[in-house]
Chain A
Amino acid sequence: MQRHRQAKWDETESDGHEPLLAEKDLTRHEPSDTYLPDDLTRDGVELPSISEPELVRHYTRLSQMNYGIDSGPYPLGSCTMKYNPKFTEDIAGQPAAAVHPDRDPELAQGTLQVYHELQDYLSRIGGMSAVTLQPPAGAAGELTGILVAKAYHEHNDEGDQREEILVPASAHGTNFASAAMAGYDIVELPADDDGRVDLDALSEAVGDSTAALMLTNPNTLGLFERDIEEIATIVHDAGGLLYYDGANLNALLGRARPGDMGFDVMHFNVHKTFATPHGGGGPGAGPIGVREGLEKFLPSPQVRVDGDEYTLVEPAESIGKVHGSMGNWLVLLKTHAYISRLGDEGLVDTSAKAVLNANYLAERIDLEVPFGPFHHEFVASAGETDAADFAKAMLDNGVHPPTTKWPEIVDEALMTEPTEAESKRSLERLAAAFNAVSEADDDAIAAAPRMTAAKRIDQTTAARDPKLSWQQLSD
């Protein structure tokens, strides 16, 4: 079994942690001889004053107290933490990529060509008629897609009538939040006994007030919604639209396309499916695709090609904008590079190995894994053990644990997505990490983690008495 002793830097003088920069040297600076008169300037600022060598050491130490996909397996379900190819950073880092967003399109033809090609790649991969790259994250893509659906219903004079969005109980929290942000009421759909959409409940719920159904396929249990054609018919017959949450698209690359399944609007999570690094929380990008007839509602601008000139165009009934410019350009550039590197064969191989890996891992672990057959992920049950505790114990085994306690349809859920980038050997080490914890006694689990930079963290105090800055630490 693999083990991992994470680095920990600390100083006995500072409560056992790597000091904050502000604790190393906090300097108050009051500007003098400013060009501006005093009444337009502040009194001063108090910030760390650190030399370059000290700065480099500080951040290097912090990086050593952080686990990344380059450190080991990171099987967070529905997060698709796969290997991030290094060459994409070199492409994103080149000076020609650094251009101002207000350049006249004539002066930004290279950037616009990348946008146009990526719009095209994603349209093909999603089976969609048109794609916008503007949403800066998956959740922003959801909001954009729902605003497009809203514009469509308003265009048909049904805006006031269609005030509900249907969301399965096991959907990502963002689906509920995005639909609510767009002003919709949420109708939650229960799952049937085999973990998929309950068609009777769906038929019951849809109607004249339905704006859309948001669906993740494969769903968060890793199950393909086999009745997708019937689902599409039910929703469409009621006059609603079908929205595809692209979080789990990695499972289907080249095998099935949302457009062919009857989805009208979809988003892509490029940091999941297309390997752009997640950067500790972002930036991502959440392009959306729409079927024919909905292009005119897309955000402005769209990139078109006219002869060999790339131009910016405002769609006829555009919803407007969802980002101040054109989204997270560098992330989109890396997406383009990744898709161009893989091509058809690489994309198809990606879903093959993602699904093979998930099924192999599910087979190798000694926990109950209900439902199936699985695609890119599965949800195991930690049984009598609290799933959050189970995860803490896995940390000592050199792996990142899965997503815990969700979806709630499985008791003490461990939602596990190994991705295509783990080798057979790595999956076996990962399975060993699961199995070791499943055999560990309660005391050992309660004492974990023991080899990480921090031991078990007191979340309750953090929330009851929030300390959100160095300024508040001294309060």
Chain B
Amino acid sequence: MDYEIPTDRRYAESHEWVLATDEEGVLRVGITDFAQDELGDIVFAELPREGETFDRGDQFAVVESIKAVSDIYLPVSGTIEAVNDAVTDRPELINEDPHGDGWLVEISTDEDVEDVDSLLTAAEYEDQI
């Protein structure tokens, strides 16, 4: 099975991705193609509120399929800057475009993605799955 694993971002072992945005110190977070495929048809996404803060490794969202509930963890510490309301309305976006329109949140963080040891490159993530 071939999964899309864009090389422009970093990955967590728990199948989230983080991507730098145009804005300094703001990262976009979502789940990987592999993760959405494992979950099957996603029917509901419970996202945090803007302004909430989380530590690295905290659960910040829940994604549900018909028969399973998955916790989504934040790969870096930060504060929720934006929430993808499109996903709340149409959770199937996560299935259709997990690395694009199906993103979950944007966070502001002091952490530098390059320095977080636990984050994997696309090649390393591909090896993992």
Interface residues of A (CB under 8 A from B): 405, 459-460, 463-464
Contact = CB atoms under 8 A, between A and B. Distances in A.
13 contacts: A405-B67, A459-B66, A460-B41, A460-B43, A460-B66, A463-B43, A463-B44, A463-B64, A463-B66, A464-B43, A464-B44, A464-B91, A464-B92
A405 B44 CA distance: 21
Contacts of B43: 460, 463-464
Contacts of A405: 67
A326 to B, nearest CB: 36
Closest 4 CB pairs of A and B: A463-B43, A460-B41, A464-B43, A459-B66
A464 B66 CA distance: 9
Q: A interface, by DSSP: helix, strand, loop or mixed?
A: helix
Contacts of A463: 43-44, 64, 66
Given A460-B43, A460-B66, 11 more contacts: A405-B67, A459-B66, A460-B41, A463-B43, A463-B44, A463-B64, A463-B66, A464-B43, A464-B44, A464-B91, A464-B92
A360 to B, nearest CB: 31
Nearest to B43: A463
A405 B64 CA distance: 17
A405 B92 CA distance: 24
A463 B91 CA distance: 11
A465 to B, nearest CB: 9
Contacts of B64: 463
Nearest to A404: B67
B66 to A, nearest CB: 5
Interface residues of B, number: 8
Contacts of A464: 43-44, 91-92
A382 to B, nearest CB: 15
Contacts of B92: 464
A464 B64 CA distance: 10
A202 B19 CA distance: 43
A366 to B, nearest CB: 27
Nearest to A405: B67
**Most chain A CB within a 10 A radius of its CB, from B44, B64, B67, B91:** B67
Nearest to B64: A463
Nearest to B91: A464
A405 B40 CA distance: 15
Contacts of B66: 459-460, 463
A464 B44 CA distance: 7
A394 B41 CA distance: 24
Nearest to B92: A464
Interface string B61-82: 0001011000000000000000
Contacts of B41: 460
A463 B68 CA distance: 12
Contacts of B67: 405
A60 to B, nearest CB: 32
A17 to B, nearest CB: 22
A70 B87 CA distance: 45
Nearest to A463: B43
A464 B67 CA distance: 13
A463 B40 CA distance: 13
Nearest to B66: A459
A404 to B, nearest CB: 10
Interface in B33-56: 41, 43-44
Contacts of B91: 464
Contacts of A459: 66
A405 B43 CA distance: 20
A460 B64 CA distance: 11
B43 to A, nearest CB: 4
A464 B41 CA distance: 10
A464 B65 CA distance: 9
A460 to B, nearest CB: 4
Contacts of B44: 463-464
A148 B64 CA distance: 34
A463 B39 CA distance: 15
Contacts of A460: 41, 43, 66
B45 to A, nearest CB: 11
A405 B91 CA distance: 24
Interface string B82-95: 00000000011000
Nearest to A460: B41
A456 to B, nearest CB: 13
A460 B92 CA distance: 10
A463 B66 CA distance: 7
A117 B91 CA distance: 55
B115 to A, nearest CB: 35
A405 B67 CA distance: 10
B62 to A, nearest CB: 14
A463 B64 CA distance: 10
Nearest to A388: B67
B96 to A, nearest CB: 13
Nearest to A406: B67
A464 B96 CA distance: 15
A405 B66 CA distance: 13
A372 to B, nearest CB: 28
A213 to B, nearest CB: 25
Nearest to B41: A460
B33 to A, nearest CB: 19
A19 to B, nearest CB: 27
A251 to B, nearest CB: 28
